[in-house]
Structure 1
């Protein structure tokens, strides 16, 4: 449930007064409230966002379901079903009772998005080996990945120093040698150690915040190499999570005042009020959330479809929209195909495709811009990224303002 703007405290009090067992993130260190830490609580409250997650039985018992009629004076503004979120952005509704929307042919639009994403992944697996090998060879020859070169990162004198970048994903390989000595803060919201056994999170962190000069012949793949890294594990080692785990990570990143919050995750679900409230809370506090538009060749998914979250599409090395990249609500684009970055040991480096890979390009560049001026925070940072983006000859519904550029 999402409280009406400015009614968060009243909403929390109403839950307590109803006799519900409430776990408030403010009672936990750095507001790192995870579901497994909540004990017998029936409600998890995320005060930075102004939202809460309630168990299904408690919601039914108190008549607080997605079908409930809310009065004008209720501190609760909306109640929604909980969804699963994925690193590869397929969609399943988690605990709600609302049936998925269906198209004219009776096929679930959510299922269609999931199938489309799977087809894209299958094509990439079939065609990707030679492309990835070529990309890695090219990167070594250039000394930097094609994505960083396209975003004009190598000439930039900025490092991201003094800027906190939160990456909410599958965690990180905390002992990856490329990050030795870096300032790391981390928390898990999925009942598993932060250590990344999936690789998606480590890859995204590498692009956004990886080193300027990796060892040996490895090309530069990281952007804001001087930033402080906040690792929020909101997706499990299978690459999935729920609204509760994602909101918990967002609340934690906002409470820690991370100037840039990168989310390469989502689902082909409708706009969710809780995500919109989280984006609004971030902007109000001078922070910026950037999120992947999705990989289903369909309309932008959540949370990127919220008006308060910057949606990132993917472009290929020709700077054309990637075939898998979602469209519609798109603010900006980043390199998302054949992206080389860090992955967990022993492999250490790998190439991936997706709007998930485009998003940390934007997050890293955002950190560089944030370093240039203390006034570039929140919505001002959002506008700066769009104003300085490289114009592309494609519809704004596919690439937004264009390709993100470093200062």
Structure 2
């Protein structure tokens, strides 16, 4: 594992910590976390026939999808087809068969790295949980037919991974113009968002786009400041910024997961090993809902997501689990 450290190439004010791809994380100083390189992409096999059914070994290995009962959505014809979702991160493995034909041409390197290709693996791992293709091997993404708009916002992420704040804001604006229904931000920050980020989120939510943000892996009673400040500001969030925490297979909050705190109205949880990994599960669920309900506004998508969640902890919205645990059974 690699501990995220401040990059010497940029001032601290221009950087945003990348959230963990693996569990653990204690500490919480400086917005740091841990990451691991994702497992190698399995060799592709023949795409299963749609008539073969969706409750397969590949689906069962996709633990986040199973926890949210995504098979219910698949059986109703929702797979993410035709829906665009933005992943603003360290880039994406442009050669991975998991994404063949589904990386939107508007995808871009926003930091002058010279390539969209992912040198670290975090962005690719996030994108796989969200939308890796269904091919009968390994796991598939929650919304395995969705189109990914990938933006690389880290210039040289190898042993230290901090995202350039101005590039993240630019990515949010570009995603809006490129037609994204959902924007995934698997990242954390322990300082208030700058004006350009607030403005970009304002424009995105005004257009009805839902923004999902990792709540943090520091076992804190409150989500990380950066995401919470965006979600809690009704004037710019419009109820469309969703903070994501992490639960176990038994719907118990992970020990390292930040809690809902005073952001409970905008907080939901999913089963994975970190909020970086749980956030694309929530994004994928929103994509499935968007495909199944093409006339829905962003507010209606979020309302369906929240109203169908499994209750956990204290009855109703609470300061640990917020809206509860994502579940697509009632949503469909």
Coarse TM-score class (shorter-chain normalised): 0.7 to 0.9
The residue aligned with 1:87 is 18
Correspondence 1:242 to 2:147: no
The residue aligned with 1:188 is 109
Deviations 1:1-60 (A, max 9, x none): xxxxxxxxxxxxxxxxxxxxxxxxxxxxxxxxxxxxxxxxxxxxxxxxxxxxxx99xxxx
Correspondence 1:336 to 2:253: no
Trace 1:128-277 onto structure 2 (pairs within 5 A). Answer: 143-157=60-74, 158-185=78-105, 186-192=107-113, 193-215=115-137, 218=138, 220-236=139-155, 237-238=157-158, 239-277=161-199
- Normalised TM-score (structure 1): 0.61
The residue aligned with 1:392 is 312
Are the counterparts in 2 of residues 257 and 285 from structure 1 also a CA contact under 8 Å? no
Cα gap change, 1:144/1:86 in structure 2, threshold over 3 Å: closer, same or farther?
A: same
Trace 1:17-28 onto structure 2 (pairs within 5 A). Answer: none
The residue aligned with 1:14 is none
Moved more, 221-230 or 231-240: 231-240
Which structure is higher in RCO with an 8 Å CA cutoff and minimum separation 6?
2
Cα gap change, 1:319/1:250 in structure 2, threshold over 3 Å: closer, same or farther?
A: same
Cα gap change, 1:385/1:303 in structure 2, threshold over 3 Å: closer, same or farther?
A: farther
1:379, distance to aligned residue in structure 2 (A): 2.0
1:253, distance to aligned residue in structure 2 (A): 0.7
Are the counterparts in 2 of residues 209 and 364 from structure 1 also a CA contact under 8 Å? yes
Cα gap change, 1:302/1:141 in structure 2, threshold over 3 Å: closer, same or farther?
A: same
1:243, distance to aligned residue in structure 2 (A): 1.4
The residue aligned with 1:365 is 285
Gaps of 5+ in 2: 1-9, 21-25, 38-55, 232-236
Deviations 1:241-270 (A, max 9, x none): 221111111111112120010010121123
CA distance in 2, matches of 1:253, 1:301: 23
The residue aligned with 2:29 is 114
1:116, distance to aligned residue in structure 2 (A): 8.7
Are the counterparts in 1 of residues 313 and 321 from structure 2 also a CA contact under 8 Å? no
1:178, distance to aligned residue in structure 2 (A): 2.1
- Normalised TM-score (structure 2): 0.74
Match of 2:253 among 284, 304, 321: 321
The residue aligned with 1:301 is 224
Root mean square deviation of aligned Cα: 2.8
Are the counterparts in 1 of residues 89 and 163 from structure 2 also a CA contact under 8 Å? no
Are the counterparts in 2 of residues 183 and 229 from structure 1 also a CA contact under 8 Å? yes
Determine which structure has more spread, i.e. the larger CA radius of gyration. 1
